[in-house]
Each structure stands twice: as structure tokens, then as C-alpha cells.
Structure 1
């Protein structure tokens, strides 16, 4: 374990809180005009999946767990969870469904992901920042909706819905951020 200040905690980090390992789901630093800056950390306890929310002063220290981090290729999903393979040794590992949560919709076959292991068990997973999907369904442009800030809903090939600019049509391949599902740009391929 290593001590880090609360303001340096990021999504995907694993902390030791009261003797339990917790995966950070969201970390947000708040700096009010008056008073002490604080960091709110949303976590999930690895042992039983219970969500925990803690607040720390930004200068307080928290215990960060040492984890093995390896790259794995995504293979497939079954009723037990998501199956990944280590590219050099071909060793397979099963990642429980609740570990990925909403991020699972961005998994694509053969995608290289970084899995953090604690004593051989997966405790956190990091997907690539950006993925490419094809638009299968996009609403038509509403006349007069030409402002650059206007967006329309579209459905991706994986079933997810995202907001895209009006000029994006069905069949277009786009780049999407895996963190929040936001449109980035047209794919350059």
C-alpha cells in the first residue's frame, strides 16, 4: 500500500478503506469560494459490491493498493462474465459483469484492455479511451437546426444511443469516448 493525497485519486484506482479494497468509480474535487477544498470519492467495495461515498479534504492521504496491471484482449461474454486472454501466454481470465458495469457496452471483440489484478483476481478494468462504432440509425435533420451546438440522437451498432451533430448519417463510422459515451469525431478510416 502507498499513501496518496485525495486530490490525486482517479477513476479506476483501488484504495484500501477500513481494511477493504474499493474500486474508485468517480472522484471529484470541489473548491468552494470559502472553506476547505474537498474531494468526493464514489467507490465500490470489491468484496461484496456495496457502493461507498466518502469525502476527504484534498490534502488528506488515502491508502492506494499495489496491483498487477496487465493487458488482455477481450474474447467474448457468457453467463459468468467477460472472458479475456493474455496475448503472450494465451492465459484466459474471467472478469465479473459487475466489475465493468455500464462500460461493458463499449467492449469490442479483440479490444486490448488493461486489467488490474490483486492477488490474481481482477479488481478493475480500463478500456481504451476511444472506440469506433458505426451508426445504424439516425434521426433526420430538423429544418433550421443548423446551429453548431445542436445534436440529434443516433443508435450505434452495439445498441447504445449517443448524441451526434446533424450532419452525421446512418452508415457513418464515428469515434466515441468510452468514459461517458460522447461523440468525438468521424472515424478517419
Structure 2
């Protein structure tokens, strides 16, 4: 694994530190009046989700880790575990459903996702940035509610509540931005 200087850490960099795999969440470069500059880095453990704040000076060496991305198909969920299948080898893996957090409802049967691997160990799941959903419940349009930035609440077929523009009606298909958890466009 390549070693990088402590001041080369950027958000999203994955490093091996204190015997674990950590993803840098936030990086703040500090240059105090006295002493040398350093990077104040917020790290998140990829295996158990713990967070850690660490200072890295420019002369500190850190091992950077490259994770392998594999596209896999979501099959089903059982007992809080998500089952995915590799499309090339047909091998199946199980991951904890809590990995996706509040984006879990957007995972649909047969959906292709990216699974990040460290060697043979699956660590994280990334679902597509935009997903098509059906509106199952929303309020009818009210007269005079034509302002460009007015929104109304809606419930999607996966149970998620989001705000949609007033022209969206029940049974319409919309595209939802999964990271922001908000309406993107009509499908």
C-alpha cells in the first residue's frame, strides 16, 4: 500500500490507522502561529462506524488504502441482512441493512449497487444517486399555489416522505435524489 504524507489526506481518502480502516470525512488544514502546520482530520471506521479526530503533520506517513468497487445485484432482505449477488461469479454475500441508514428504503429488488471491498471483505454499499419511485399519497393542488418554489408533502411507494412540486399527483413516477432525499424530476 502506498504511503502518503499527513497533509495529503483529503475528504474520502481511505487510510489504515491504528490497526483499522478509516475514511476521512472532514479535513481542516491548520497553520498555527507557532509550530508546524497540520491537518485536523475526522475519520470514520469502515468496519464499526466509530468516529475519531486525529492530527497529522506533514512529516507523518499514513498508509493509503484503495478499495475495489464491484457492481452487484440486490436480491432480498432477511433478518436485517441484505443479500447481494455478483453478476459475474454468481456468488452471494450478506451485509448488515444498517449500512445504508436512511437510504435503505430506496434499495429496490434487482437494483445494481456498488459494493466496496478490501481484499475479500465487503465494507460498504453505494446505491445509485437517482432512483425512480411512485407517489402514492399527496395533497391536491390548491388554487393560487403556483409560486415557483412552493412544495407539498408526498408519500412514496417505499414509505418515504418527501416534498414535491404542486403539479405532481398521485400515481405519478418521479426521480428522487437518494443522497439529498429530495425530488429531482418527473420520470
> TM-score, normalized by length of structure 2?
0.79
Distance 2:137 2:81 in 1: 29
1:71-90 → structure 2 map (5 Å cutoff): 71-90=71-90
Shift in Å, 1:185: 0.3
169 and 80 in structure 1: CA distance in 2 versus 1, 3 angstrom threshold: closer
Q: CA deviation at 1:6?
A: 3.2
Deviation at 1:102, TM superposition (A): 1.7
Distance in 1 separating the partners of 2:40 and 2:79: 37
Match for residue 156 of structure 1?
156
Query: What is the CA-CA distance between 1:30 and the residue it aligns to?
Result: 7.0
CA-to-aligned-CA distance 1:13-39 (integer Å, 9 cap, x gap)? 643232211346xx45679xxx99x77
Partner of 2:103: 103
1:180 aligned residue: 180
- Deviation at 1:118? 1.6
- The question of whether the paired residues in 2 share the 8 Å contact of 1:133 and 1:176 is answered with yes
Displacement, 1:139? 1.9
1:165 equivalent to 2:168? Answer no
Q: Which residue of 1 aligns with 2:9?
A: 6
List runs of 5+ in structure 2 lacking aligned partners: none
Change beyond 3 A, Cα 1:106–1:146: same
Cα deviation for residue 63 of structure 1 reads 4.3
RMSD, aligned CA? 3.1
Residue pair 1:136, 1:171 contacting (<8 A) in 2 also: yes
1:170–1:61 distance in 2 versus 1, CA, 3 Å? farther
Q: Which of the two has higher C-alpha Rg?
A: 2
Q: How many residues align?
A: 179
Q: Distance in 1 between matches of 2:103 and 2:132?
A: 14
Q: Note closer, same or farther for the CA distance 1:153–1:6 as it changes in structure 2 (3 Å cut).
A: farther
CA offsets, 1:119-169, max 9 Å, x none?
312111111111100000012234322111111111111111111101000
Aligned ranges 1:119-138 → 2 under 5 Å:
119-138=119-138
Whether contact under 8 Å (2:70, 2:115) holds in the other structure is yes
